[in-house]
Chain A
Amino acid sequence: MKRIYLDHSATTPVDKKILRAMLPYFGADFGNPSSIHTFGQKAAAAVDAAREQVAGFLNCNVDEVVFTSGATESDNLAIRGVIAAAKKKGVQKPHIITSLIEHPAVLETCAEMEREGAEVTYLRVSPTGLVRTEDVKKAIKENTVLVTIMYVNSEVGSIQPVREIGKIIHKINEARLNEWKKTKGKEPLSRPQEIYFHTDATQAPNFLNCDVRWNYIDLLSFSGHKIYGPKGVGVLYARTGVPLRAVQTGGHHENSRRSGTLNVPGIVGLGEAVKALKNKPDEGKDGRWTGTNRKIARLRDMLVKGLEKSLPGIVLNTDRKHATPAHAHFSFVGAEGESVLIALDLAGVAVSTGSACASGSLKPSHVLLAMGIKQEIAHHSIRFTLGKNTTEEEIKKVIRILPPIIKKFRKMSPELKF
Chain B
Amino acid sequence: MLYTKEVMKHFQHPHNQGVIKDADSVGEAGNPVCGDVMKIYLKIVDKKTGSKTKKVIKDVKFETLGCAAAIAVSSALTDKIKGMEIEKVLKIQKDDIIKDLGGLPPAKIHCSMLGLEALDEALKEYKK
Contact = CB atoms under 8 A, between A and B. Distances in A.
Interface of A: 334-336, 338-339, 342, 346, 355-358, 360, 362, 364, 374-376, 379, 409, 412-414, 416, 418
Those 6 A-B pairs whose CB atoms lie nearest each other, nearest first: A357-B67, A413-B65, A376-B32, A379-B35, A414-B63, A414-B39
B34 A336 contact: no
Interface of B: 1, 3, 11-12, 14, 17, 28, 32-39, 63-71, 107
Contacts of A413: 37, 63-65
B14 A339 contact: no
Contacts of A379: 32, 35
A contact face: mostly helix, strand, loop, or mixed: loop
B18 to A, nearest CB: 9
B68 A342 contact: yes
B63 A346 contact: no
A157 B108 CA distance: 29
A418 B32 contact: yes
Secondary structure at chain B's binding surface: helix, strand, loop or mixed? mixed
B35 A414 contact: no
A371 B38 CA distance: 28
A358 B67 contact: yes
A360 B108 CA distance: 8
B57 to A, nearest CB: 19
Contacts, number: 65
Given A355-B35, A375-B33, A412 B64 contact: yes
Contact of B65 (A336, A342, A346, A364): A336
B28 A414 contact: yes
B68 A339 contact: yes
Contact of B66 (A339, A360, A362, A418): A339
Contacts of A374: 33
9 contacts: A334-B65, A336-B36, A336-B66, A336-B67, A339-B68, A355-B67, A362-B34, A374-B33, A412-B63
A413 B66 CA distance: 8
A255 B102 CA distance: 54
A342 B66 CA distance: 12
Contact of A356 (B17, B28, B35): B35
A374 B35 CA distance: 11
Given A355-B67, A412-B63, A412-B71, A342 B34 contact: no
A376 B33 contact: yes
Given A334-B65, A412-B71, A357 B36 contact: yes
A360 B32 contact: no
Contacts of A342: 3, 11, 68
A338 B68 contact: yes
A91 B101 CA distance: 57
A339 B68 CA distance: 5
A313 to B, nearest CB: 14
A412 B36 contact: no
A364 B28 CA distance: 22
Nearest to B64: A412
A213 to B, nearest CB: 44
Given A339-B71, A356-B34, A375-B35, 12 more contacts: A334-B65, A336-B65, A355-B67, A357-B67, A360-B107, A379-B35, A412-B14, A412-B17, A412-B64, A412-B65, A414-B38, A414-B39
A411 to B, nearest CB: 8
Contacts of B33: 374-376
A132 B12 CA distance: 44
Nearest to A417: B32
A298 B126 CA distance: 56
Of A336, A355, A364, A379, which is in contact with the most chain B CB atoms at under 10 Å from its CB? A336
Nearest to B3: A342
A360 B66 CA distance: 14
Nearest to A364: B35
A272 to B, nearest CB: 34
A357 B11 contact: no
Contacts of A412: 14, 17, 63-65, 71
Given A339-B11, A346-B12, A360-B107, A414 B68 contact: no
A356 B3 CA distance: 16
Nearest to B1: A360
Contacts of B12: 346
